[in-house]
Amino acid sequence: MYDFCTDFRFLDGTLMALTRAQVESIAHLARLELEPAEIPAFQDKLSRIVDFIGELERADTSGVAPMAHPLSGLSQRLRPDAVTEGDGRELYQRNAPQVASGLYLVPKVIE
């Protein structure tokens, strides 16, 4: 899990403001392009969000079992293994900006 609470906290538990580099890194992971002038504002806003979530860190959760989902006690429903979807390509590709020979086209990806 991505642990903002420990990543951005000093050892004594007090909040550490996000650095410029951390904001740039988060923006990159989210593929968001930020203007350099916008970054200080995001440092401040994101730090406050992290601090808000950090409230949970201060709650006493000893004796509380971790939950993977808020609907506790319910289990994933299963679906029988049957093909229920036909070929909808023609319809779906009407939404695509560019297609050729049945393929969705995107800007060249180079490894």
Partner 1 sequence: MSGWETVIGLEIHAQLATRSKIFSGASSAYGAAPNTQACLVDLGYPGVLPVLNAEAVRMAVRFGTAIGARIARQSVFARKNYFYPDLPKGYQISQYELPIVAHGAIDIVLDDGSVKRVGVTRAHLEEDAGKSLHEGLPGVTGIDLNRAGTPLLEIVSEPQLRSAKEAVAYMKKVHTLVRYLEICDGNMQEGSFRCDANVSVRPKGSDKLGTRAEIKNVNSFRFVEKAIQYEVTRQIELIESGGTVVQETRLYDPDKGETRSMRSKEEANDYRYFPDPDLLPLTLDEEYIEAVGAQLPELPDAKAARLVAQYGLPAYDAGVLTASRELADYYEAVARAVPSQPKLAANWVMGDLSAALNKEGLDIGAGRMPAERLAGLLTRIVDETISGKIAKEVFEAMWASGDSADRVIEAKGLKQITDGAAIERAIEEVMAKNPAQLAEYRAGKDKLFGFFVGQVMKATGGKANPAQLNELLKKKLPG
End-to-end distance of the chain based on CA atoms, in angstroms? 27
Comparing CB distances to partner 1, the nearer of 37 and 91 is 91
Three-state secondary-structure class, residue 73: coil
CB of 60 to partner 1, least distance (A): 22
15 strand-pairing partners: 9
Total residues binding partner 1 (CB under 8 A): 36
CB of 12 to partner 1, least distance (A): 26
Q: CA geometry: angle at 91 spanning 86 and 96, to 5°?
A: 125
**97 forms part of the interface with partner 1 (CB under 8 A):** no
CB of 49 to partner 1, least distance (A): 15
